[in-house]
């Protein structure tokens, strides 16, 4: 009886210790907010660098070809950051899709208040 109880206790302890290894990793909200803040700061820095390059061109410090090359590279970096931001908020993209679908439906049918107005006008005429 003592061996069985010890065996059950050992299995329970092992299960408690090993269980977190088999769970999918969870992203904490604080970590997600920190990552979003890092992406925003990165994007702001890229935009600042674009403005600085444009200023340098306006003041004659760099040639137009150099400005074009720098800005193209910075825009690619900004697009990557924006894509990462979008991937972090999949709920937002679903919401945007629902809004777009609702707008398309409204454009097809007309706004409900417009239809109501037309019906009322039709009865009065």
Run means of pLDDT, 10 residues per run, the chain, 125 residues: 80 81 67 87 95 95 95 94 82 68 79 51 48
pLDDT at site 112:
53
pLDDT at site 111:
55
- Mark whether 75 and 106 lie in a shared domain: no
Residue 18 lies in a domain: no
Residue 4 lies in a domain: no
- Mark whether 56 and 79 lie in a shared domain: yes
Residue 44 lies in a domain: yes
Residue 16 lies in a domain: no
What predicted TM-score, i.e. pTM, was given to this entire model? 0.51
Number of domains in the chain: 2
Range of the domain at 102: 90-125
- Mark whether 125 and 105 lie in a shared domain: yes
Contact 50, 74 (CB under 8 A): yes
- Mark whether 36 and 79 lie in a shared domain: yes
Residues 6+ apart with CB under 8 A from 71: 50, 53, 54
């Amino acid at each position: 009886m003592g061996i069985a109880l010890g065996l059950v206790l050992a299995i329970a302890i092992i299960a408690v210790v090993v269980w977190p290894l088999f769970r999918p990793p969870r992203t904490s909200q604080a970590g997600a907010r920190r990552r979003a803040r890092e992406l925003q700061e990165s994007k702001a820095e890229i935009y600042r660098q674009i403005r600085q390059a444009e200023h340098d061109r306006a003041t004659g410090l760099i040639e137009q070809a150099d400005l074009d090359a720098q800005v193209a590279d910075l825009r690619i970096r900004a697009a990557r950051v924006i894509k990462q931001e979008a991937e972090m908020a999949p709920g937002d993209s679903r919401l945007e899709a629902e809004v777009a679908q609702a707008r398309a439906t409204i454009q097809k049918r007309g706004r409900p208040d417009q239809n109501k107005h037309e019906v009322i006008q039709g009865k009065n005429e």
